[in-house]
Amino acid sequence: KQEVTQIPAALSVPEGENLVLNCSFTDSAIYNLQWFRQDPGKGLTSLLLIQSSQREQTSGRLNASLDKSSGRSTLYIAASQPGDSATYLCAPWNRDDKIIFGKGTRLHILP
């Protein structure tokens, strides 16, 4: 059964810093992995989808990497801003199976 762990569970950093959020998963036979952000009480916004054949995906200040063999993905946020404050979730997908989410990293950017 796939297990997904996100570390750290919470993170507070000053505005302007670069930061890395981690996602690890136990079953490396994934088809892809998706990163989301969620604001309190709101829905999920897709940030990046990285296919199993890819090593990286970039969108603006966000960069996601994937190391399938070691069961790890990272989300890099450059030059953080207060508007980046949210919970970040990762979800690896095994294609013909259920989808398991990590519990998320709650990020607070200090102005």
Comparing CB distances to another protein, the nearer of 86 and 89 is 89
Rg (CA), the chain: 13
Region near another protein per CB under 8 A, out of 13-21, 35-43, 61-69, 75-83: 35-43
Comparing CB distances to another protein, the nearer of 80 and 91 is 91
Q: Which residues contact 6 (CB under 8 A, 6 or more apart)?
A: 21, 22, 23, 24, 88, 89, 90, 102, 103, 104, 105
Judged by CB under 8 A, which of 24, 37, 71, 104 binds another protein? 104
Region near another protein per CB under 8 A, out of 15-23, 56-64, 73-81, 97-105: 97-105
Strands (E), 18-104: 19-25, 32-38, 44-51, 56-59, 62-67, 72-77, 86-93
As measured in angstroms, the least distance from the Cβ of 75 to another protein is 16
| Cα 85 to Cα 77: distance, rounded to the nearest angstrom | 11
Q: Which residues bind another protein (CB under 8 A)?
A: 31-32, 34, 36, 41-44, 46, 49, 51, 89, 91, 93, 95-96, 98-104
